[in-house]
A and B are shown apart, each in its own frame.
Chain A
Amino acid sequence: MHSLYWLRFLRIVVSLFFLLLTSLIFLDPAQWIPGWFTSAVVWPQFAPSVVRFTVSAGLAASGFLLFTLLALLFGRVYCSSICPIGTLQDIISWFKKLFFKTKPLKFARPQNILRYSILALVIISFVFGISLLVNLLDPYSNFGRIMTNLVRPLFLAGGNVLANVLEKNDIFWMPKTTFKLFHASSVGFASGFLLLIGWMSFVRGRLFCNTICPVGSLLGIFSRFAIFKISIDKMACNSCGQCSKVCKAQCINVKHKEVDFSRCVACYNCLDVCPSNGVLYNLNNISLNAKTERNPLKKDKDRRTILKALMIFSAFATTRAFATRTTGGEKPTEIPEEKQNIASPPGSLGHSHFTKKCTACHLCVSICPTHVLQPSFLQYGLHGLMQPYMDYHSGFCNFDCTLCSEICPTGAIKNIAPDDKKLAQLGIAKFIEKNCVVYTDNTDCGACSEHCPTKAVNMVPYKGALTIPLVNEKICIGCGACEYACPTKPYRAIFVEGNILHIKADEPVQDEIVIEKTEEDFPF
C-alpha cells in the first residue's frame, strides 16, 4: 500500500464537501444562509478571487493566492478539490465507469498551443476590460449558471411540492416560490455548457480542464514548477500501465515513464494502483526532470471545432423570452416606456465597473430576496452577456438589503454600507402622465408613491381631491419600487431610466412633525 494512499480519500471527501456547499448557496430558497457564510464558501474559487483582487486587493480576495501557492507546492489541488465543475466531471466519469464497459483512458499528448492561447486571450481581454471570456470559460461561473438556471428552478419546484404536502398537515416552515421570468439565453448557455463538459468528461476524463479551462491552464503553469510532484520510479516501473489507466487527465506516459505534471489535476488515483509501488509523490528532483519531452505541436482539428462551436453558441445564444403582459378589460396604456439604459445593482458603481468585473456566476440572481436581479442578454452589450441587471418587472430593490454586495465573489458588486446604499442612485424614475390611472380614469391610485422608500415619488394635488405622482429626481435612488408597483398595462406609467454611472442621491429632508396640542380627550 502506498504511504500516501489516504490522499485520494481526502480529495474525494473535500471535493464532495465543497460541491455540496457551493450547490447549497445557490439553492437557498429564502435567504436562510447568512451572507458571511456564502462569502466564505466562494472565497477559494479561483477566477472570481483573481477578479476581486483587481478590484480591491485584500484578505477577501486572497483565495487564489492560496491555491497558487498550493500549486507551486503540490500541484493543481484546486482542480480536484475545490472546483465544482471538476468534481461534477469526476462524478460523470464515475457513473460512466459504473454503467458502461469502455476501454480505459490512455496517455494523450498535451494541447499546449490551444490551452495557452485560450489562457492568453482570457487574460489579455480581461486586462483590456472585457470580462466576456472569463465569464464564458471560468468553471465556477459556469457552475453558478448551471445551478441558477437549471438546478434551482427544479429544486424550488420540488420545494413547492414538499411545501404543499406539509401545509396539508398545517406545517408552514417551507416557503413556496414562484418563477416570474425565464431567461432563454442563460438557460440555453448553461445547458450547452453542461452538455459540453458532460460529453467531454464521458469520453476523455478531464479533457476540458486541460484544453479549454483557463484556470486549469494557469495553475498548470505553476504546477509545472511544483516542489512536490508525482513521478514514476523508473527502477520500479515495469510499464504495466495501471497508473495510466486511472489517470483522468491522461498525463502519464507509460512508454517514457514520465508524468506531465502541468496537466495533473491532483486526484491521486494513481498513487495506490501501482503493483510495484512505483508512483512517487515527493520533492521534485530538478536534475531528473530537466529534460522534458517536447511534443510536436500538432493542430487538433477536433478540439478547434469544439471551441468554435462554443464561441458561436455564446454569440447566438437565444434571446430572453419576454414575459408577455396581457391586457384585461381595462383601457390599455398607449405610450411605451422608452428605457435607454438598464440599471446595474447597487454597489456596482455603474455599467463600466460592473461589466468589466462580473463573470456572470449568477450567485446574486439566486440569493436576491426580491428577484430584482435577473440575467441580462444583450442589454449591457455583447461584452456583458448574461451579467445580472435590475429587472423592475420581476421585482424591486429592497431598501434595507445589501445582500448581493456582501456575497459577490468578484467585487463587481462592491461591498456597500447600508447607509451608502440608501443614497446610491442606480437610475431615475421617469413619469409618463398620459399612462397614469389618475390621468386616464380620474381615480386615485398612488401605488408608485406607496412603495417609494424615499418619497421621491410623491402625490401632489391634481383635480379636485385627486393626487398625481411627481418625481423629485434628486432624492430618487432608482430602486424600481414605483415601476414594479405601477398597475397600468401594457405600458407602465413610471419607469426607471438607468444611470450609466451611479451617483449619490440627496438625502430626503425630514423636518420635525409640528405637534399640535394633542387632545386630552377623544375627537368623537
Chain B
Amino acid sequence: MKRRDFIVNSVSAGLVTGASLSLSNLTSLAAATLSVQNDWDLVAVRDGEPEVMFDRAIASLGGMSKYVKKGQKVVVKPNIGWDVSPERAGNTNPKLVARIIRHCLNAGASEVYVFDNTCDAWNLCYKNSGIEKAVKDAGGKIVPGNTESYYKPIQIPRGKSLKEAKVHELILTSDVFINVPVLKHHSSASVTLAMKNLMGIVWDRRYWHRNDLHQCIADMVSWRKPTLNVIDGYRVMMRNGPRGVSEADVLNMKQLIVSADIVAADAAAALIFGSKPEDIPHIRIAHDMKLGNMQLDKLKINRIKI
C-alpha cells in the first residue's frame, strides 16, 4: 500500500468512524457490509444530510464493496455543468460527491476520477461548484473534459437517432461508472436526471438537440448503463432549470435515490419532483426499449426516513 493511499484510507476510515460515533442511529460504514438485506432494486432516502443519506442508502444495498472491487478504477460523473454556487443547486452537491469518492476508496478503488463536459467555462464550473475542492479533499482526481481530444468514438448499435458518439476516455477505461446527477427542472427535457446526465460524457451535445433529444437520451443508455446511479435531491431547482436564475428557484427537499436501474431511478426522482414518469418522453422511451423499469410498483424499494 502506498503511503498516500494509506493516509487517504485512514482518513476516510476515521471520518466514517467519527460520523458513526456522533450519529448514534447511523449504521456505520464498516457495519454496512454486514447488512442483511441487500437485494433492493432501489433505495430512497429522505430528511438527512447528503453524506448521511448516502451512507444509509449504500449500506442497505450491501456496501460500496458490492460495486467496487479492490484495485479497480472508478469514474464518478456528477453534474458540473454550470458556473454557480452549491446553493443554487445547478450542480450535484459537492458533499455527496466527496462521500461517494470516500466510499469507493474505502472499498479499495485504485483511483476515483471525476469529470464533466460542462456548459459554462469548465474551469469556473469546477471551481465555483465546490466540486473540484471536494474531490481533491476526498482523495479523488478531477479531470478536465473541455477538449475534443479527451473523447473517443463509439458505436451505439441499439440506437435509433444516436448511432455513434464520442465518449470521454475515462468512461471507456474505468471499471466502475457511478452516475451522480442532481434532480432539477429542465427547460428542454422537463426534468433532468440520471439518463440526461449522460449528455455530459459525450462531446457533441448539439447533435442530440438537433436529432430528437429524448430519443438520443434513451439511445445513449442502450450503449452502456452506469454501474450505479445516485440522484441528488438534497437541494432541488424547481423552475428555470437547468441553470436557474437565483436561489429563489431552489427548494430544500433532502432526498436521495440510489439504484443500478437508471430508468427506475429517474422514475422515482420524477415523482419526487412532481412529474409522472410516463410524461417524461425519454423515461417512457427507455422503458419501452427495455433499458430499465419505470413501473416502480414492480420493484423492491427500500424507503428510509431519517
Residues on A facing B (Cβ under 8 Å): 30-31, 160, 164, 170, 172, 175-178, 328, 330, 369-370, 395, 398-401, 437, 441, 443-447, 449-455, 458-459, 465, 467, 485, 487-489, 508, 510-513, 515, 518, 521-524
Residue in B147, B207, B238, B301 whose CB lies within 8 Å of A177 = B147
Residue in B243, B253, B303 whose CB lies within 8 Å of A451 = B243
- Greatest chain B CB density within 10 A among A164, A176, A524 is at A524
Q: Is the CB of B296 within 8 A of A450?
A: no
CB distance from A518 to the nearest CB of B (A): 8
- What B residues does A30 contact at CB under 8 A? 123
Residue in A172, A449, A513 whose CB lies within 8 Å of B187 = A449
Residue in A176, A398, A399, A443 whose CB lies within 8 Å of B147 = A176
Cα A399 to Cα B296 with chains together (Å): 40
Q: Is the CB of B209 within 8 A of A513?
A: no
- Greatest chain A CB density within 10 A among B121, B122, B249, B297 is at B121
Residue in B143, B147, B249, B271 whose CB lies within 8 Å of A524 = B271
- What A residues does B268 contact at CB under 8 A? 524
Would you list which residues of chain B between 141 and 163 have a CB under 8 Å from chain A?
Answer: 141-144, 146-150
Residue in A170, A450, A513, A518 whose CB lies within 8 Å of B188 = A450
Q: Is the CB of B248 within 8 A of A399?
A: no
Q: Is the CB of B213 within 8 A of A513?
A: no
Cα A202 to Cα B46 with chains together (Å): 74
Q: A398-B124, A437-B209, A522-B44 are in contact. Are A444 and B83 (CB under 8 A)?
A: no
Cα A446 to Cα B242 with chains together (Å): 11
- What B residues does A467 contact at CB under 8 A? 187-188
Residues on B facing A (Cβ under 8 Å): 44, 46, 83-84, 111, 119-124, 128, 141-144, 146-150, 186-189, 205-207, 209-215, 238-240, 242-243, 245-246, 248-249, 251, 253, 267-268, 271-272, 279, 281, 296-297, 301, 303
Q: Is the CB of A513 within 8 A of B251?
A: yes
Cα A459 to Cα B281 with chains together (Å): 16
CB distance from B299 to the nearest CB of A (A): 9
8 contacts between A and B (CB under 8 A): A177-B146, A400-B83, A401-B83, A444-B189, A446-B187, A446-B189, A450-B242, A513-B239
- Greatest chain B CB density within 10 A among A437, A450, A513 is at A450
- What A residues does B84 contact at CB under 8 A? 400
CB distance from A333 to the nearest CB of B (A): 10
- What A residues does B206 contact at CB under 8 A? 447, 485, 487
- Given A444-B213, A485-B119, A487-B207, 10 extra CB contacts under 8 A: A31-B123, A170-B111, A170-B141, A401-B124, A446-B209, A450-B186, A451-B119, A453-B243, A455-B245, A511-B248
Q: A176-B149, A177-B147 are in contact. Are A444 and B120 (CB under 8 A)?
A: no
Q: Is the CB of B239 within 8 A of A443?
A: no
Q: Is the CB of B209 within 8 A of A445?
A: yes
CB distance from A291 to the nearest CB of B (A): 63
Residue in A31, A395, A444 whose CB lies within 8 Å of B214 = A444
CB distance from A28 to the nearest CB of B (A): 11
Cα A450 to Cα B188 with chains together (Å): 7
CB distance from A244 to the nearest CB of B (A): 53
Cα A510 to Cα B142 with chains together (Å): 35
Cα A370 to Cα B146 with chains together (Å): 11
- What A residues does B120 contact at CB under 8 A? 370, 398-399
Closest B residue by C-beta to A174 = B144
Q: A369-B124, A398-B124, A522-B303 are in contact. Are A445 and B213 (CB under 8 A)?
A: yes
Q: Is the CB of B248 within 8 A of A175?
A: no
- What B residues does A399 contact at CB under 8 A? 83, 120
